[in-house]
Amino acid sequence: MSETASTTRSRTLEWSDPVATAAAGAELAGIDYLRAVIAGELGRPPISITMNMAPIELEVVQVPAAASDDHAALGTIGVDELLRARRRMVELARVLADEDVAHFPATDDPDACTYCAYLNSCRARPMRREDRFGR
């Protein structure tokens, strides 16, 4: 096999019409829309097909404190951050599949903590008491 042939890759993507999915979703409450996507009753967003990500679980939790209005949470997550997060999730999935894991060590990448689902309960980087329990 030539070197060019061994490094050439292609991918074919198929997705549902996002306009039809959005129209169907417009008739539902947000949580019902997400549940329908997870159940496969509505098509996934095209970006999730492109990034090879799919929602697998939905959890509704209480927000411990009122959100701040400093606009820090506004904006977009860049593709590079999504790819980095995906690589890390795949890495962690391999560890879970191959080893008996009692706990995960905290990452050396403080930016990873920004979107971590366990930010509020991290033993390695505990939140200040006021931030955890303040109202």
Q: Write out the chain's pLDDT in tens, 135 residues.
A: 455 557 888 889 888 888 888 888 888 888 888 888 888 888 888 888 888 888 778 777 776 666 555 555 555 667 777 788 788 878 877 887 887 777 767 777 767 777 676 666 676 777 766 666 654
Q: Tokens representing 132?
A: 């955890």
Pick from 50, 39, 44, 60: nearest CA to 12:
50
Q: What residue segments make up the domains of the chain, in order of their start?
A: 12-60, 65-135
Q: What is the pTM of this model?
A: 0.41
Q: Tokens representing 129?
A: 């008491």
Pick from 17, 12, 74, 78: nearest CA to 42:
17
